[in-house]
Structure 1
Amino acid sequence: MSRQIRDGLLRRIVSGELGEGDRLIETKIAQEFGTSQAPVREALRQLEGLGLIESQPRHGSRVLPFVEQTIREAYILRAALEETATRLAMLAGTLPFDLLQEAVEEMRRCARDGDVPGIGLASARFHRHVVQAGGNALLTRAWEALQIEARTAIALMVTGPELERVAEEHHELLDVMRAGDVETACRHARDHQWAYADTPHDPYGTPRGGHRDT
């Protein structure tokens, strides 16, 4: 329920339905979603962690200016974390290929059904399997601190990608990992996240739309 409330409020903030300074009152939100205030409080806590709202004692919460770049910047950090996790997992031989395949199949099903929240959750599950397989607890905690599910939901709302393509991108990443070339897999894992960073250049310094010298 807290995730449903969070994603519902996310859509309103990203679309502009909720603008800078708008107040979010727990009791009113709970009534709207037909729930107690506990999941509302958790949803608001997550939104505050994302920098989208701020709490005001005795006055509820208010919406902060939505800056897409602050959300997408997280993808640069995520790219570095997942590149490292991929390297550790492949060197240790601990990647759970069956679970990764299940996540890809779930993304394909969600794509067929037009289920945007579902494909976001399946994508986060795919990458969590990789990160956890790296076996580095500190790296995993840093990755979880980015609130991956919420940021994925925002990215899908903002960029509006073809859902079928999202599923196939993960299938391609899985194929590269299965092939066993560590450096190629790490590069693919990094590029997979960097594509959402919305920077004027790629990780190699090449301008977007440009061509790298060979």
Structure 2
Amino acid sequence: MTETQPLPRLTLSRQIRDGLVRRIVSGELEPGERLVETRIAESYGTSQAPVREALRELEAIGMVETRPRRGTFVRHFIQQTLRESYVVRAALEEAATRLALPAGTLPADALRADVAAMREAAGRGDVGAVGTASVSFHRHIVDAGHNELLKHAWEALQIEARTSVTLLAVEPDLGDVADEHAELLDALLSSDLAKACQLTRDHQWHYADLPHDAHGRAR
């Protein structure tokens, strides 16, 4: 980052957010540690505005908490809330699939483009781009359900931020992530509603990291 070519605020806030996620996940920033906006801003050579945006996003998914007149502090790592979010997300995306598949509203070309983008990003080891393409893929499915209340509930889960946190924390093989989405796409385009719904549900439950799967079977 240079002074002559400053990053757009949105890009910079995401960069700060992901940097803080990595430090929290690695243990460099410990639970209970205070995050001082001025210090973070100084380390990135920026104003406090993008830092505040990054911290707001982290607070929304439960990684940090703001205490009145005291500041922002790291919470205990959010494995439990991540698990809970994927269980809820599985239900929402299965419902969207049940609405979209019979109606024929799934945007096949856009979904294929998302998978291609994931493969390309995985090839160059770009975690952020894989996450962005994954979120786009699933948003297309939710949008295709044409149910505004469902869409609102899905967006309220802070999908983009949680996806970023998951990829940084779990460190999955990026090629495998692309392959999983390609398999899901094949099911969605096969018109086999039962199979598509099962894969949609299982895809999210995989990241819930629970001792049993979506069918109650022990892992």
TM-score by length of 1: 0.93
Shift in Å at residue 83 of structure 1? 0.3
Moved over 6 A (4+): none
Shift in Å at residue 29 of structure 1? 1.3
RMSD of equivalent CA atoms: 1.1
* Whole-angstrom CA distance in 2 between matches of 1:86 and 1:74: 18
User: Paired residues, what number?
Assistant: 208
Shift in Å at residue 68 of structure 1? 1.3
Match of 1:154 in 2: 165
Shift in Å at residue 122 of structure 1? 0.9
Shift in Å at residue 34 of structure 1? 2.1
Shift in Å at residue 175 of structure 1? 0.7
Shift in Å at residue 105 of structure 1? 0.7
Shift in Å at residue 98 of structure 1? 0.8
Q: Which runs of 5+ in 1 are unaligned?
A: 209-214
Shift in Å at residue 59 of structure 1? 3.2
Match of 2:8 in 1: none
* Whole-angstrom CA distance in 2 between matches of 1:149 and 1:141: 14
Q: Identity of aligned pairs, percent?
A: 60
* Whole-angstrom CA distance in 1 between matches of 2:214 and 2:179: 22
Match of 1:54 in 2: 65
Higher alpha-carbon deviation: 57-66 or 133-142? 57-66
* Whole-angstrom CA distance in 2 between matches of 1:30 and 1:158: 24
Shift in Å at residue 44 of structure 1? 0.5
* Whole-angstrom CA distance in 2 between matches of 1:63 and 1:48: 9
Shift in Å at residue 203 of structure 1? 1.1
TM-score by length of 2: 0.91
Aligned positions of 1:126-205 closer than 5 A: 126-205=137-216
Shift in Å at residue 146 of structure 1? 0.8
Shift in Å at residue 49 of structure 1? 0.9
8 Å contact 2:62–2:78 — kept in the other structure? no
* Whole-angstrom CA distance in 1 between matches of 2:140 and 2:89: 14
Match of 1:81 in 2: 92
